[in-house]
Structure 1
């Protein structure tokens, strides 16, 4: 397993100012950011501790994480294009 961090600060570093702004001003972005961080914590915990889990569960968590990340990225992109 890769054990790579997938936090928003690392993955969206080039637009960190947008991430910070949206976390402060967009409740849905803030909520999704928290959910994303929780999922990333769970996935990394399973990877780092080699906790036994089914492939279905592990893939499910990773799929949820990437879906939320896609939604967050779309919101970041929209804000960058429109400025709001």
Structure 2
């Protein structure tokens, strides 16, 4: 769906405590999460405003978002194992 919220907290509500903890204690995680949130917002805005962007460009942005989400989720899972 266009304009759907893909924030990490929304995508993984069962891991909110870990996400919050990592965001406050892990500088690298916090930096990537901030970039992820910014990219997610950019994609939503482009979709909702029907901005002039090619399908290939929006696909590239969404691919970046997926890769960032995977990396963040991996860090969350590692933190929960420890």
| Structure 2 match to 1:47 | 47
Q: Which runs of 4+ in 1 moved over 4 A?
A: none
Say yes or no: does 1:74 pair with 2:58: no
Unaligned runs of 5+ in 1: none
Residue-by-residue CA offset, 1:38-59 (whole Å, 9 max, x unaligned): 1101100011101110111101
Superposition deviation, residue 3 in structure 1: 2.1
Distance, in Å, in 2 between the alignment partners of 1:56 and 1:29 is 28
How many residue pairs get matched? 82
Query: Following superposition of structure 1 onto structure 2, how do residues 1-84 of structure 1 map, counting pairs within 5 Å?
Result: 1-82=1-82
Distance, in Å, in 1 between the alignment partners of 2:21 and 2:11 is 16
Which structure has more relative contact order (CA 8 Å, sep 6+)? It is 2
Tell me how large the CA RMSD over aligned residues is: 0.9
Unaligned runs of 5+ in 2: none
Distance, in Å, in 1 between the alignment partners of 2:49 and 2:2 is 13
